[in-house]
């Protein structure tokens, strides 16, 4: 039975990928992102788990079936959103000059805190879960990404020296995170921000062959990421010879033979939750938001702890997830509402679909939101479904003041960023 369910899940992944590749630009939609993450991150972990004699068949069947439901709901939610054409509100006009000024300010603040983060001692900077100053620095370093997104929209609409300056500064920091730190999330974010800006502003889509190559590289990144960082980031000086010696074939064989930690976590958690039948009914979203945004250094650890809500445990006592592994979004969805938790992914797909529809109609705000939600939407699968909500809170806190500042008043004569509505809905 597990092999049959794996076949169903694999078939759904490939159907969604093929559907996305049939039309240029459709691979910028959330269902394609979701299928790509399942194909490159989830599926390779499963054969080894199925062959694991210590993993019960019922446990695997549950994890596979629920994963199938979650992926399907990503697509269903999206289709419900994009097929319903709501009232097309007039797009808010913005001063291009003010947007570029804001992009410069965001970039400079973000760059400064990226630099401060890099100056931290290794024991603070390189630990698995960041705390203290490292969290504060990365909180503000995220502003560089916002500056990059605004700069890209301005540049693709009307090239200027200031827009180029913002892009080049941001690119330098991204390349450090990609080449030296080997961060897969930043790599995907860098590529998607550029390609989505070109898609929204110019209607330009990268070739399908490039998308397929990107999917293959994402699998390579999963296989090599740990050893790559050990050679380039966790040492005093990058050891490029060690990078060249990474045995991808051996890593692939080990993954197929032993399975992946993340889906192992998900299977064990769902089995325990199913036996206990104790659910958190979504309260864990509150806890993760408090954990992310209430600074213990300012309010005190006791106050922060008092804001947390008691929720049932996710794992059976004695089970220890591998350090650095994640529970996956499927786990927290199951922990909230049992099999009905797949509705979380329907809501995520629906929200992303509504944002995308408005972005394609020319809304500057929604173009920025979709560009900056692409990676968090994928993290809802690999990490936790609240990742996108946490990202939106941060985005709203900093981008709403920027957009209010840049909004073009009717009586102001200024250079206007006029966005192209793009081609018809895809």
Whether residue 412 is predicted with pLDDT greater than 70 in this model: the reply is no
Whether residue 128 is predicted with pLDDT greater than 70 in this model: the reply is no
Of 29-38, 78-87, 165-174, 290-299, which gets the smallest average pLDDT?
A: 78-87
Question: Which tokens go with 307?
Answer: 């804001």
Contact 418, 95 (CB under 8 A): no
Question: Which tokens go with 163?
Answer: 């827009």
In this structure, the strands spanning 416-417 and 94-95 are antiparallel
Whether residue 174 is predicted with pLDDT greater than 50 in this model: the reply is yes
Cα separations in angstroms, 150 against 164, 188, 340, 342: 11, 17, 38, 34
Return mean pLDDT, the chain. 88
Highest-pLDDT range among 109-118, 242-251, 336-345: 336-345
Residue-wise pLDDT tens digits, 188-234: 999 999 999 999 999 999 999 999 999 998 888 888 888 887 777 77
Residue-wise pLDDT tens digits, 304-340: 888 999 999 999 988 888 877 899 999 999 999 999 9
The pLDDT of residue 301 is 84
- Rounded to 5 degrees, what angle do the CA atoms 324, 327, 329 make? 130
Of 124-133, 143-152, 263-272, 388-397, which gets the smallest average pLDDT?
A: 124-133
How large is the greatest C-alpha to C-alpha distance in the chain, in angstroms?
Answer: 72
The pLDDT of residue 271 is 94
Nearby residues of 46 by Cβ (< 8 Å), 6 or more positions away: 6, 9, 64, 259, 260, 263
The residue written with tokens 């969805």 in the block is 333
Q: How confident is residue 11, by pLDDT bands cut at 50, 70 and 90?
A: very high
Nearby residues of 120 by Cβ (< 8 Å), 6 or more positions away: 133, 134, 137
Give the global pTM.
Answer: 0.90
Phi, psi of 95 (to 5 degrees): -75, 120
Helix (H, G, I), strand (E, B) or coil at 308: coil
Whether residue 247 is predicted with pLDDT greater than 90 in this model: the reply is no
The secondary element (H helix, E strand) that includes residue 298 is helix 296-299
Closest by CA position to 422, among listed 147, 207, 208, 197: 197
Whether residue 102 is predicted with pLDDT greater than 80 in this model: the reply is yes
């Amino acid at each position: 039975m597990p092999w049959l369910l794996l076949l169903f899940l694999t078939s759904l992944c490939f159907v969604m990928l093929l559907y996305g590749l049939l039309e240029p630009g459709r691979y910028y939609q959330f269902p394609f992102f979701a299928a790509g993450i399942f194909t490159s991150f989830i599926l390779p972990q499963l054969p080894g788990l199925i062959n694991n004699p210590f993993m019960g068949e019922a446990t695997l069947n549950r994890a596979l079936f629920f994963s199938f439901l979650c992926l399907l709901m990503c697509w269903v939610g999206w289709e419900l959103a994009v097929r319903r054409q709501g009232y097309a509100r007039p797009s808010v006009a913005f001063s291009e000059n003010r947007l570029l000024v804001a992009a410069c300010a965001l970039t400079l603040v973000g760059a400064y805190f990226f630099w401060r983060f890099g100056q931290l001692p290794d024991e603070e900077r390189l630990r698995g879960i960041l705390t203290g100053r490292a969290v504060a620095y990365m909180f503000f370093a995220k502003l560089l990404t916002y500056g990059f997104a605004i700069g890209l929209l301005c540049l693709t609409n009307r090239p200027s020296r200031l827009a180029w300056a913002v892009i080049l500064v941001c690119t330098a920091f991204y390349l450090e995170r990609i080449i030296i730190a080997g961060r897969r999330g930043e790599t995907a974010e860098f590529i998607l921000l550029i390609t989505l800006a070109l898609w929204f502003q110019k209607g330009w889509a990268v070739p399908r062959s490039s998308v397929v190559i990107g999917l293959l590289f994402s699998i390579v990144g999963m296989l090599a990421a740990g050893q790559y960082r050990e050679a380039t980031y966790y040492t005093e000086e990058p050891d490029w010879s060690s990078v060249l010696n990474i045995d991808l074939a051996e890593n692939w064989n080990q993954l197929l033979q032993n399975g992946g930690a993340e889906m192992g976590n998900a299977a064990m958690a769902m089995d325990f939750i199913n036996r206990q039948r104790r659910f958190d009914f979504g309260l864990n979203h509150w806890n993760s938001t408090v954990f992310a945004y209430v600074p213990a250094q300012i309010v005190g650890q006791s106050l922060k702890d008092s804001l947390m809500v008691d929720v049932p445990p996710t794992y059976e006592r004695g089970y220890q997830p591998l350090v650095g592994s994640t529970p996956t979004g499927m786990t927290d969805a199951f922990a909230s509402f049992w099999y009905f938790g797949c509705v979380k992914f329907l809501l995520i797909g629906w929200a992303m679909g509504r944002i995308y529809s408005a972005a394609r109609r020319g809304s500057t705000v929604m173009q920025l939101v979709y560009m900056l939600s692409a990676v968090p939407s994928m993290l809802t699968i690999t990490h936790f479904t609240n990742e996108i909500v946490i990202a939106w809170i941060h985005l709203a806190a900093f981008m709403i003041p920027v957009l209010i500042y840049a909004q073009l008043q009717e009586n102001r004569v200024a250079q206007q960023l006029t966005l192209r509505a793009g081609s018809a809905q895809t």
